[in-house]
Amino acid sequence: MHSVVISGTGLYQPPHTITNAELVESFNRYVDLQNAQHADAIARGEREPLAHSSVEFIEKASGIKQRYVIEKDGVLDPRRMYPRFQERGDDQLSLMAEIAVDAAHKALAAAGKKGSDVDAVLCSAANMQRAYPAMAIEIQQALGAGGYGFDMNVACSSATFALEQAYNAVRSGASRCVLVVNPEITSAHLEWKDRDCHFIFGDVCTAIVVERAETATSAEQWEILGTRLATQFSNNIRNNFGFMNRSEDSDPLARDKTFRQEGRKVFKEVVPIAAAHIESHLGAQDLQPSQVRRYWLHQANLGMNQLIIKKLVGGEAGSDQAPLILDEFANTASAGSIIAFHRHKADLAAGDVGVICSFGAGYSVGSVIVRKR
């Protein structure tokens, strides 16, 4: 068995920011337009008026202050409320591959590797742009990588689940250097017209280079001590968009074809699952939660992360122990814990142990225990 390290990470950050104030302003204009359009039905009691959103609610309930998006005008147009992307020809690089290649180049540069050093590409994200050919194979070709590529989707846990596949492939000797990319174009699958969730997501892409310790040359390396994955079926986060929709004669714009959730139930049910998962994974490595220098947790809700840390170590989560990127990026599905790791790892010392942990739809939870070399 080979020792395995994360030798580089990279981040693609979209060009546009939407603040909560901008988001709420456009949402409230949408609400006013809808209520005016349906004024008669509302007056007859046949239809409930839509309610305004508020910046105060969003910040208090979630901790989110802004999000990055690839396309802003369509999202903020109260007569549209979703991004406007130009369809690309089959001979052009797809948008998902484009942002993945950007993040991958940065991760490879940090690892001191070239595309041709990579012998497996895992494109792992909550949504795929198309059914086939795999996004990963397009990315593999664009980078000049060898070996194979495949796509995988475990919603918000896509990155940690892919890290386990990469770890096992390198550890066993099947692969030498695996690239994991998490292009999350969440703006295309968020229901921006729904007050309960319109503030939740942002676009981004993360990339991680996983290779044998013996070939790693980068200044900063993280040995993977172990990975652990778990799933438990729940309908509390669901999206029914899929290839059967046409045959079912269902409306492609119906509410169930975009992201929806029972946020409060998710909060209550996932916090204990995630805390118990991390604790038992650490226990299997003879580690106590208090021995962990840093937790890079999934970024869905500030209160959730604070409760998980409280369950694990009994105290308040400071930004040093469990850094937050949610305020700046919002929930970026599987990329959240990886952005936290990418942004907040350089200050740790050799020997320090940290845990990357994601949790979300499925339910799914994945943890990766790492030690700085």
| Residue 332 engages ligand CO8 in binding (rule: CB under 6 A) | no
Residue of 334, 339, 280 whose CA lies nearest to 311 = 280
Helices (H) and strands (E) in the chain, counts: 11, 13
Known active-site residue 357: no
Q: Which of 126, 210, 275, 365 binds ligand CO8 (CB under 6 A)?
A: 126
Q: Which of 201, 222, 295, 341 binds ligand CO8 (CB under 6 A)?
A: 201
68-97 footprint of ligand CO8 as x/- string (CB under 6 A)? ------------------------------
Q: Which of 42, 61, 93, 313 binds ligand CO8 (CB under 6 A)?
A: 61
| Residue 162 engages ligand CO8 in binding (rule: CB under 6 A) | no
Look up tokens 């940090």; give the residue.
110
CA pair distance 200, 190, nearest whole angstrom: 8
CA pair distance 120, 267, nearest whole angstrom: 35
**Which distant-in-sequence residues (6+ apart) come within 8 Å of 38 by Cβ?**
47, 49
Among the residue ranges 58-66, 87-95, 309-317, 319-327, the one whose residues contact ligand CO8 (CB under 6 A): 58-66
Judged by beta carbon, residue 99 or residue 118, the one nearer ligand CO8 is 99
251-280 footprint of ligand CO8 as x/- string (CB under 6 A)? --------x-x-xx-xx-------------
| Residue 333 engages ligand CO8 in binding (rule: CB under 6 A) | yes
Judged by beta carbon, residue 300 or residue 356, the one nearer ligand CO8 is 300
**Which distant-in-sequence residues (6+ apart) come within 8 Å of 216 by Cβ?**
5, 7, 111
CA pair distance 52, 282, nearest whole angstrom: 44
Q: Which of 300, 339, 355, 370 binds ligand CO8 (CB under 6 A)?
A: 300
Residue 270's H or E segment, with its range, is: helix 263-284
Q: Residue 256 corresponds to which amino acid?
A: D
The values of phi and psi at residue 307, to 5°, are -65, -40
* Catalytic residue (choose from 123, 156, 205, 357): 156
CA pair distance 311, 315, nearest whole angstrom: 8
* Binding-site ranges for ligand CO8 (CB under 6 A): 53-54, 57-58, 61-62, 126-127, 155-156, 186, 189-190, 195-196, 199, 201, 237, 259, 261, 263-264, 266-267, 300-301, 304, 331, 333, 360-361
Q: Which residue numbers are catalytic?
A: 156
